[in-house]
Structure formats: structure tokens, C-alpha cells
Structure 1
Amino acid sequence: MRSLSIFLYEWKHFVSSPFKIIALLLFLIASIYGLHNGADLYMQQSNEIERLNQKAKEEKETILSYFNKNEKGPENRPWVDVTTPFWSIWYTPTYYFKKPSPTIVYNIGQTEQYGFYKKIGLYSSPYDADMAKEIANPERIQSGTLDFSFVVLFLMPLLLLVLLYNIKTSEAEQGFLPLIFVQTGSKNWWILSRTLFYTILLLFSLLGLMFYGATLTKVFEADNTFWIIFLYLTIYLVFWVVLYFLILKYGKNIISNTLQMIGIWLLFAFIIPAVVHQWISIEKPTNLMIDLIDIKRDKTDEIYEQSNTDTDNQIFNLYPSLKQTKTAQDTIAIKEARNDSRIALINVAMKIAISKLEEDNRTKNELISKTYWFNPLTYFQNKLNHSSKTHYDDYQTYRNDIQNSVDKRIEIMILDIWDNVKVDKTKYLEYNKILNK
């Protein structure tokens, strides 16, 4: 009953404070804006994926028309022969997508930092220029893009500060705090109950906003992710409530409490993440992907200039079964097969360079994870990224799948070239089926 009286008292205090009401309204408006940004990005990516699927279908129909007309390729490219494995696979349209999760409405994460689709070719790699674009989400705030998670992680603590900053101290400065303690029976209980009122108010606000976000995308089709995200937001809110409660409990006046709250917000929201970022940059400087550039430029030339014997040994080491083919025994046929197969050697060299790059990234992520115990904002950001499938690990899985698709494409092409396979309409459709699984 005492808590109910205190809640009613705090409700009257809240509705009579325009400053607090305006702060809450601004938070709600920013959250709704962020939710719509996430929903818009989800729709943009979904529509683009649908467009690319249609484009791939049209490209496929164009090649099929060549087979129907007994033509070998487009008239303006007489060197193209789609009845050979090389050109048939070259013109097999294959797109690999990182399909957006509906929960992206809550957290854009690293979605804007990486590409979400890749057209697979024989010379493709997971780190081509079209696989990394734009900038990280915290920086997007400067250009007008913010998401729901940014509002919650950075602005909700400020809103909580506005709602709590004058609890206890305003009554103390007016001189009737002892009377309140006599009526409520306990100073700590009175402060806790008032703090709990705003905690519940924000929890219901967050829940309402999340349900609103769920109407913008198909969030509830993503298993129980909705409630997992809400749980993380609840824990994050409680974290700040505990910190502010301790300041209120031991605070002396409004100015002192407000300055301490602002200080602790700056510490956890900016200072610690900035220090961690600087430390990581010193320990593991940014990889400029020079190895990839060198391979694309220098290693490719080296592979094409090396002796036929070295090339054959490397190709046979990758695909031992090629030694038994008729092409391997034919000194004339092997020349063209060998030349087309050098793509596989370039792909291997690229994968070696990529493995070094990814090892650097793994090391960075491990260093960051060791700071979670004193860097809560980054911890919760990563948890939200995982929940909305926008984490670095999700994009690493996507890159791995792209590499597997490239490997499969090259392997099928080389095996069929050395087996002297003649491609017809049925075989081309088989390529499409296998390479677009």
C-alpha cells in the first residue's frame, strides 16, 4: 500500500513537470523515427533482393534462348561459346544474399557497413569492393540515420537522468524530507519506489515501441527474438537504474547528483568505448588489405607467367582426378584447359591472403570481448547485433558462404573442362540448379 501511495505521488509529480513530459515525448519520437529507419532499410534490401532475383531470371532466359536458336552466344561477342563449360558457367547468373532479418527494425547494427548481396563470378572473393560500403552505424547519426538501438543505448540513460535527477534532493532542499520519511517509514524504500515508478514507465514505453516496430516488419516470424531483445533492453535499463539509484541515495543536492549522472553517462557511453577503440587500434592497426591488392595485381601475373609444369603440378594437386582425363594426355587440348584452370590457383592465393585478414579480425573481436566487463554499452550493442543478425559473425558466415560458392563454381567448371563436357540446354539448367542452391 505504501508503494501505491508513492506511485500516485510520483505520477502527480510527473504530469505536473512539463520538462519530464517533453523529454519522454522526444525519446518516443526519436525511437519511432529509428524504428522507421530500420523498417525502411529492411524493405529496401528485401525489394533489391527481389529485383536481383528477377534480373537473374532474365539473364538465364537470355542464355537459354541461345540454345533454343542453336547459337553460341551474343552476336557482338563472337569469342563467347556457351556450349563450353567455361562460358556456360560464366553466364550462369548466381547471386548470394544476406537476407535481412525482420528484427533489423530494432537494430541496424553493421548492416550499412557491409553489402548484402554478391554476384558470384569465377574471379569473385568475399572481400571485393562491392562487399564493404558506407560507414558504421554510430557515425551515421551525423548524416541523419539513427536506429532504435542507438536511441535506447545512448539516449535512454539521458532520459532516465531527466526523470530521476531531482528525486529526494528537491524535497531535501525545501526542508520537508524528514516529514516524508516519517510518513513512508523508510528513506531507501521511498527513493526506491519513486525510482521504480520511472523504471516501470520506461519498460512499458520500450515494450510499446517494440510492438509498434513489430507491425512494421514480420518480427514475430523470427522465433522468440522479440522477447530476447526486450530482455536485453530490460537488463540494460536496470543497469542504469541501479547506478542512478546509488547516486540518489548518497547524493546531497540536485547539482551534485546531476553532474554525477552526466559524468557516469559520459564515462560509459563515450569515454570507455573511445579508449577501448584507441587501444584496439594500437594493438591491431587497421588492415589495409594490401595482401589482397598485391595478389590481384602481382600474384595473378606471376601465375600466368610461371612454367606449364609448375601450373600443371599445382592444378593436379588441387584436383588429383584430372591426371586421369584424356585432356591431360593431349598436348594440344591441355593448353586451353590449363589456361582456364589458372583461375583456381588465383582463388587459392586469394584465400590464403583472406585467412590472414580474418585472423586479424578475430583477434580484434577477442580483444574487444575482454573489455565487456567494464564496457557495458559495447556488450549490449553486440548482443543486439547478434539478435538482429547484424553482427560481424553473421557477415563472416555470409562471406564464408560466398567463398564456398566461388569454390564450387570453379571446381565444377574445371572438372567439366578437363572431361571435355559439351554443354547443351539440359546441362546449362543443371548448372543453374547446382550453383543457385
Structure 2
Amino acid sequence: MRDLTIFLYEWKHFFRNPFKILAVFLFIVAGVYGLNNGYSLYQNQTAEIEKIHEKIQTEKEQYQQQYAEGKLTDDSRPWIDMASPFWAIWYTPTYHIKTPSPAMVYSIGQAEQYGFYKRVTFMASPYDADMAEEIANPERLQTGTLDFAFVVLFLLPLLLLILLYNIKSAEAEQGFLPLIEVQTASKNSWLISRILFYFLLVTSVTIGLLIYGAMLTDVFKNASEAFGQILLYTLLYLAFWSLIFFFILKNGNSILGNTLQMVGVWLLLAFVIPAIVHQSISISKPANLMTEFIEVRDKQEELYANDSVFERKLIDLFPEITKTTAFNDETKFNSAMSNSAYALVNELNKEAIRPIEKESQDKNTLIEATYWFNPVTFFQNKFNSIAQTNYNDYQVYRDEIQALIDKRTGVLIEDIWADVKVDTERYKWYSESLSTAR
């Protein structure tokens, strides 16, 4: 009953303070704006993916029509023979798409920094120019778009600060604390009840925003688990800041002193520590300039300049070709060797990628090791992980692209050296099979 009385008192106090009402209103506006930013990006990516699917279908139908009509060569480009596995696979449109999660409405993460679709060709690589290198999650904090995660991470503590800054300290400055001790069991329980009121108020506002966001991208239907996880970590984050502010208010007796301490802790946890971590890791693990890919071009030239080295490496990579039709037919051997070049280039690219990915993984391991004193980064990564917009999600995406490239070059080598003649059925198989790494 005593807690209910305190809640009713705090409710009246809240509505008599236009500054606090304005703070809640601005928080809601920022939350709605952030959710709409996430929704806009989700919509744009979804619309682009639909266009890509339409483009793929159009290209497939065009080439299947050519096979049906027997138009396997082009007078203007006589070197192209669609009966050859090389050209048939070359003109098999294959895209790998990272379908955006509906939970992106809550956390954009790296979704703006990284490509979400990739045309897979013999020459493709997960680190091509259209697949910009990932920015580490803590770095994203410094340049992030105002999305819902940004609002929670940076503005929610400020809102809580505004709602709590004068609790107890105002009564202490006016000399009312002894009277409160007489009327309540303890000052601590009275303080906890007042903080709990605002905790529940902010929780209600946050749940309302989460539901609004869920309605934008139909999260309840397509990613219901994500809603529960975002809610859980948001409440944990709110509880984390509520606990910090409780200890500041418990031990403070002046409005100015409490406010300065609360602002100081907010600046320390939200900006200073992430910035120090970011700078320290940037010094120990500088951004990779991917110069390894320049070396790949040099190694390609060496391969092309030495036929014996080229042949040996190809046989080492695909020993089964020595038993094929083309390998034992001198008239077909040179053409098959020439068309197999991309398989070796793919291996060179993979060798160049390994140290790049190891450096990225080492960097993220260092970041994860700071979570115990860098909580804002921890929660940022959790939100991005739930929304499928963090480093690991894009690493999986890169791995899937590489698997498709490997399969494409593997099928190419197998069919070239087996001297396969592509017809309608084989092209249809290419269209279906090469779109999945399985």
C-alpha cells in the first residue's frame, strides 16, 4: 500500500514537471524516427531484392529460349558458344542475397556499410569493390545512423537521468529527509519505489515503441523471437542504468552533485570507454588495406607466363582432370587449360583473403574481451546480432559467397575437361544448381 501511495505521488510529480514530460515526448519522437529509418532501409533492400529476382528470371528465360531455338552462337561475337560449359556457366545469372531480417527495424548495424547482394561470377570475390570491408561494431557507435538501437543506447540513459536527477536530493536540500524517514520504513525503500516508478514508465514507453516497430515490418509474424530478445536486452540495459543511478542518488544529497555524477558516468560508459577501446585496437590492429589482392595480380601474371607451373598447379588442385577426355586429347587440351584459369585465380584470392579475415577475427576477439568494462558496446553488438546486421552475419554471408564461387569453378572444371556439350537441360541444371552451395 505504501508503494502505491509513492507511485501516485510520483505520478502527480511527473505531470507537474513539463521538463520531464517534454523529455519523454522527445524520446518517443526519436524512437519513432529511428524505427522509421530502420523500416526505410528494410523496404529499400526488399524492393531491390525483388528487382534482382525479376532480372534473374528474365535472363534465365532469355537464355533458355536461345537453347530452345538452337541459337548457341552470335554472329557479332563468334567466339561465344553457348554449347561450351565455359560460356554457358558465364551466362548463368547467379546472385547471392542477404535477405534483411524484419528485426532490422530495430538495429541497422552494418547494413548501410555492406552490400546485401552479389553477382557470383568466375572472377568474383567476397572482398570485391561492391563488398566494402566491414566496419567493426564499436567503430559503428561513433558514426551510427540514428536507429532504434542508437536511441536506446544513448538517449534512454539521458531520459532516465532527466527523470531521476532531483529524486531525494531535492528533499535533502529542503530538509525533508528526516520527515520521510518517519513516514516510511527506510529511505532506501522509498528511493527504490520512486526509481521503480520511472523504470516502469520508461519500460511502458519502450514496449510501445517496440510494438510500433514490429508493426512496420511484421516482426511478430516473421521474427517473433527477435522481438522478445530485443525487449529482454532493452530491459536489461534499462535496469543496468537504473542501478547505477540508484547508487548515485543513494549516496548524494545535492541536485547539482547528483546530476554531474550521472552525466559523468553516462559520458564515460557511452563515449569515453568505447572511444578508448576503439583507438587502442586501431593502433594494435590497423585497418587492413588489402594489399594482398595487389599481390594476387602479380601471381596471376606469373601463372600465365609459365605453362608448366600453370598445369602443375591445376593438376594439384584438380587431380581428377588427368583421367578426362580433354586431358588426353591434344586438340582440346589447350582450350581446356585456358578456360580453367579462373579456378586458379579463385585459389589465389582465397589465399589472399585468409590473413585479412584472420585480422578481422582477431580484432573482434579483442573487442569482445572488453565487454566486462565496455557494456554499451556489448549491448550494441547484441542488438545488431538479433537484427542480423553485425560482423558475424556478414562473415557468414561472405563465406556463402565463397562457397558459391567454389562450386561454380568446380562445375566449370568438371564439365570443361569432360568435354560436356551444354543443351537446354544442362543449362537449366546450371541455373538451379549454381544458385546454392549445396
TM-score, normalised with respect to structure 1:
0.96
Aligned length: 432
Is residue 2:241 matched to residue 1:240? Answer: yes
1:53 aligns to what?
A: 53
The answer as to whether partners of 1:67 and 1:424 remain within 8 angstroms in 2 is yes
* Aligned-partner SS, 1:385: helix
2: distance between equivalents of 1:102 and 1:293?
38
**Aligned residue for 1:312?**
311
Q: For residues 251-277 of structure 1, what are the alpha-carbon distances to aligned partners after superposition, in whole Å with 9 as ceiling and x for unaligned?
A: 120111000001000000000000000
Counterparts of 1:263-342 in structure 2, within 5 Å, are: 263-295=264-296, 297-306=297-306, 308-342=307-341
SS at match of 2:358: helix
Check the 8 A contact 1:108/1:137 in 2, yes or no.
no
Matched with 1:191 is 191
> Once the 2 structures are TM-superposed, how far is the Cα of residue 185 of structure 1 from its aligned partner?
2.6
- Contact 1:27 1:156 (C-alpha < 8 Å) held by counterparts: yes
Q: Which residue of 2 aligns with 1:146?
A: 146
| C-alpha distance in 2 between matches for 1:146 and 1:288 | 28
The amino acid of 1:110's aligned partner reads Q
Instruction: Look up the SS of the partner of 1:216 in the other structure.
Output: helix
TM-superposed deviation, 1:86: 0.3
Q: By how many angstroms is 1:352 displaced?
A: 0.8
Moved more, 72-81 or 380-389: 72-81
3-state SS of 1:80 partner: strand
Structure 2 partner of 1:64? 64
Cα distance in 2 for partners of 1:85, 1:346 equals 18
Distance in 1 separating the partners of 2:237 and 2:75: 63
Partner-residue secondary structure (3-state), 1:166: coil
2:9 is the counterpart of 1:32: no
CA contact (8 A) 2:107 2:383 kept: yes
* Native 8 Å contact 2:23 2:159 kept in 1: yes
Which amino acid letter does the alignment assign opposite residue 251 of structure 2? Y
Instruction: Using the TM superposition, give the Cα deviation of residue 137 of structure 1 relative to its aligned residue in structure 2, in angstroms.
Output: 4.7
- Counterparts of 1:4 and 1:77, CA distance in 2: 84
Aligned pairs for 1:146-165 within 5 A: 146-165=146-165
Q: How many angstroms apart in 2 are the aligned matches of 1:215 and 1:340?
A: 51
How many angstroms does 1:397 deviate by? 0.5
> How far is 1:316 from its partner?
1.4
Q: Does 1:428 align with 2:427?
A: yes
1:252 aligns with 2:253: yes
Partner letter of residue 382 of structure 2? K
* Alpha-carbon distance in structure 1 between the residues aligned to 2:79 and 2:342: 19
Aligned to 1:368: 367
Deviation at 1:75, TM superposition (A): 4.5
- What one-letter code is carried by the residue in structure 2 that aligns with 1:331? E
Q: What corresponds to 2:114 in structure 1?
A: 114
State the Cα distance separating 1:24 from its structure 2 match.
0.6
Find the counterpart in structure 1 of residue 408 from structure 2.
409
Give the letter aligned to residue 15 of structure 1: F
Please tell me whether the aligned partners of residues 66 and 73 of structure 1 are also in contact (alpha carbons under 8 angstroms). Answer: no
Q: Do the aligned residues in 1 keep the contact of 2:134 with 2:391 (CA within 8 Å)?
A: no
SS in 2 for 1:243: helix
% identity of equivalent residues: 52
In the alignment, does 2:367 pair up with 1:358? no
Q: How far apart are the structure 2 equivalents of 1:416 and 1:140?
A: 48
Does the 8 Å CA contact 2:110/2:134 hold for their aligned counterparts?
no
Contact 1:112 1:134 in 2 (8 A): no
CA contact (8 A) 1:96 1:117 kept: yes
Larger deviation, residues 116-125 vs 314-323 = 314-323
Q: Greater shift after overlay, 69-78 or 90-99?
A: 69-78
Mapped to 2, the partners of 1:76 and 1:239 lie a distance apart of 69
1:54 alignment partner AA? E
Q: Residue type of the partner of 1:272?
A: I
Q: Does 1:12 align with 2:23?
A: no
SS state at 2:118 partner = strand
TM-score by length of 2: 0.96
Residues of 1 paired with 2:303 and 2:236: CA distance? 55
Secondary structure at 1:79 match in 2: strand
RMSD of aligned Cα (Å): 1.4
Q: Does 1:173 align with 2:173?
A: yes
CA distance in 2, matches of 1:129, 1:305: 27
Distance 2:295 2:405 in 1: 20
- Distance in 2 of aligned mates of 1:18 and 1:380: 31
What CA distance in whole angstroms lies between the structure 1 residues aligned with 2:218 and 2:399? 27
1:1-49, CA deviations, whole angstroms, 9 ceiling, x for partnerless residues?
A: 1111111111111000000000010000000111111111111111111
Alignment partner of 1:373: what SS? coil
Amino acid at match of 1:367: L
Q: 1:137 to 1:374 in 2, by over 3 A?
A: closer
Give 5+ residue unaligned stretches, structure 1: none
Cα separation, 2, equivalents of 1:134 and 1:316: 35
CA deviation profile, 1:156-199 (whole Å, cap 9, x unmatched): 10111000000011112122222122112311111111101000
Check 1:355–1:262 CA distance in 2 against 1; reply closer, same or farther (3 A cut).
Answer: same
Task: State the shift of 1:139 in Å.
Answer: 5.1
For 2:105, the equivalent position in structure 1 comes to 105
Q: Structure 2: state its 5+ residue gaps.
A: none
Residue aligning to 1:227: 228
Q: Is the Cα contact below 8 Å between 1:37 and 1:105 reproduced in 2?
A: yes
Q: State the 1:282 CA deviation.
A: 1.3
